[in-house]
Structures are given as C-alpha cells and as structure tokens.
Structure 1
C-alpha cells in the first residue's frame, strides 16, 4: 500500500477527506450496495438488483466528479482511490456473493460460488491497484462493475424459469463472469458519455423492477 511521506502523514482528520464531494458520492454507492445486501438477505431480489445497479452508477460518478473538480491535492486523490477500491470490494464482491447465497437459500452448495466471487474481486482489485489500466481506455479482464450491468439485465428474465432452474443459471453466470474478471482478455473502459447511457439504464431498470414488484403486490 502506498503511504504518504513523513511530512505529509496525518495532515488532517479522516472526516476531512470524507467530506470531499467525490468521496461523498463513493459513500452513496456504498449505501446502495448495503441496501443490495439487505434486500438480498430478505430475498427481495428485484430491490437488491436496483441497489446494485445504482451502486455502479455512483461508482462511475465519483470518478467523473473527481476529474472535474479543481484544487484537489494528491492526498485527496490517494485517499479517494483507496476508499473507492474498498467500496468496490463491498459493491462488486460481497454484495453479489450474498445475493448468490440468498438466491440459493443459503445452501452450502452455494458457498464455493460465493467464495469465488469474493476472491476474484479481491484479486482483480489488487491487480488493478498495482498495475492500473493497460492504456487510457482498456482494462485487463472484465471490469467488476460490468458484472452487475450484465446481470441486472439477465435477471429480468427470471420469471421464465422455475426457482431451482434459475438458481443454477445464476450460479453459472456468476462463475463465468468471475473467470472473465481474471482473464487476460482486453475489455474497453466505458467513460465520458457512457455515464449518461448508464444513468438511463439504471432509471429504466428501476422503473421496470419497481413495476414488477408493484404488479405482484
């Protein structure tokens, strides 16, 4: 882990950095991920998906805000990078692992899958923290946030299958995505105007899943 020099160490309290606008955005994403975990445990999977997709949106937004803000110091950037990575572990590692466990009714057979998801996330985030992007617009392997983007769409078709059948499908999809996360395949980094596409996607999915829940009420 990179540390600040002695002259820079402990320059301000932790809350000083937490009040930074990009970090507030990151924490909003953490709240969405926590809601995803909460609803997954309650087996309200549609609401869990909504929480997960908004966690992705805030994860994208914090970087955009950070790049547009002026006057941010290296300390702000280093703190923000560490915070973002830790939150990614919750949003794209712990949250989907809990989702898988809950969808499998916490069967022991789903524990290995949950472990694979968390492990793949930890390995990928550690690799990225050390080596970063291949270039300005290319990742090594599938980015973790893309897992949620893809799965949020696939889960729309849950009603076409019985619960046991779709639990197997869900298990398989998460395992395939974990392999892709750690693969040497090059994938594009979506940024810039793609954020507005993601915002539209998140709003549309929220409406669809909300309507599905309302129609069952």
Structure 2
C-alpha cells in the first residue's frame, strides 16, 4: 500500500473523518452536530503535530508525508467544511458566496505558504518556529462554534456577524504578521473554552432561533 501508516497521522485522519461527517450534518440541517464535528476536528489538529514529533526516528519521507497530508486534510476540515456549514447557515447571497470563495482561496494560499516554509525548515534541519505566519486556518474551529453559541443573543444579526467574521478571518489568513504559537497551558485553555462552547451548542436551552 502506498503512504505511511503509523500513529503520527492517526489524529489527522480522525479529524478528516469528523469533518466529512460534519459536512453531512450541515447539508441535512443538523447544525449543532456539524459545529461539534468542526470543533472536534480542531481539537485533533491542535495535538497531531505534538504527537508526530514524539516519534524521533521518522525518516525525511515520513516527515514530508506528514506535512503534506496534514495540509491536505486541513483544506477539507477548515476550508471546505466551514464553507459548506456557513452556506447552510444562511450565507447564500451572491456577496456571501464571494466571501466564502475568498475564504477558501485564502486558506489554500495560507496552507501552501506554510508547506513551503516547513519544507525549507526541514531541509535546513531547523527547529519548529515559535510563531505562525498569518492566522492559522484552524482558527475557524474556535471562532465558528463561539459565534454559533452566541447566536441566540445576536438574533437577526447573527448572519451579519457571520459574514464579517468569515471575511476578517480570511484576510488574516494571508496577512503577513507573526502569531505566537500557544503554550501547553494556553492550548489547554483554548480546548476548555471550545469544549464549553460545544457543550453549550449541543445542550443550550434556547431553541427559538431557527438554527
């Protein structure tokens, strides 16, 4: 069989499977479970790199494969999946679709740029950089669940907020600024916040909004 099969890519594949499941949920109107799948994919992505780096005897081919497969899955998990979800939530106007297309393109450009830097660092045998260039594409797995959780408070303004949020995040994907990678404590805090948001989405009492 082609490819590399070890524990270093398991979380990446689980994240991909979760996002495909989330797409099914989104197009059938099960938005709460779609949000759950998005957040779960983001959770997997937060730790897949850390797990991969625990394997010290990886060959250069295995490392390169890991970089490529991670980005390819990210295109689906945090590029295509949020586009389908946001469209299903109401971003269906012409200007909405333009924003979603820009979001997808910006995400692909950001991931392509990341791959170039990662390959250069690997060839030069440099350590993992402490900062991201631009906003990580995984950020949508945090922003969208939080926005959806607050949708009962936003009432009719939720769709407006959704448009603005997607556009701003897309711009930040391709803006050249350094974004410090979170420490383990900060990562745990982010995971906790997202977990609370997801639980709030799944079990919130206010079901009057049609989302």
- TM-score range with shorter-chain normalisation? 0.7 to 0.9
- Between stretches 82-91 and 187-196, larger displacement belongs to 187-196
DSSP 3-state at the match of 1:14: coil
The equivalent of 1:167 in structure 2 is 159
RMSD: 2.4
Gaps of 5+ in 2: 122-127
Is structure 2 residue 19 aligned with structure 1 residue 33?
A: yes
DSSP 3-state at the match of 1:136: coil
Residues 23-47 of structure 1: per-residue CA shift (max 9 Å, x gap): 1210000012112222221233222
The equivalent of 2:178 in structure 1 is 186
Matches within 5 A, 1:93-112: 93-104=79-90, 106-112=92-98
Residues 56-76 of structure 1: per-residue CA shift (max 9 Å, x gap): 111122111111123222221
2:15·2:41 contact (CA, 8 Å) conserved in 1? yes
1:61·1:195 contact (CA, 8 Å) conserved in 2? no
DSSP 3-state at the match of 2:179: strand
The equivalent of 1:4 in structure 2 is none
Instruction: Write the distance in 1 (CA, Å) between the matches of 2:202 and 2:140.
Output: 21
Is structure 2 residue 71 aligned with structure 1 residue 85?
A: yes
Matches within 5 A, 1:79-158: 79-104=65-90, 106-132=92-118, 136-158=129-151
2:145·2:194 contact (CA, 8 Å) conserved in 1? no
Instruction: Write the distance in 1 (CA, Å) between the matches of 2:132 and 2:10.
Output: 26
DSSP 3-state at the match of 2:184: coil
- Give the aligned length: 201
Report the TM-score, using the length of structure 2 for normalisation. Answer: 0.84
Could you list the runs of 4 or more consecutive aligned residues of structure 1 that deviate by over 3 angstroms after TM superposition? 105-109, 191-195, 214-217
DSSP 3-state at the match of 1:111: helix
- C-alpha change, 1:193 and 1:162, in structure 2 (3 Å) is closer
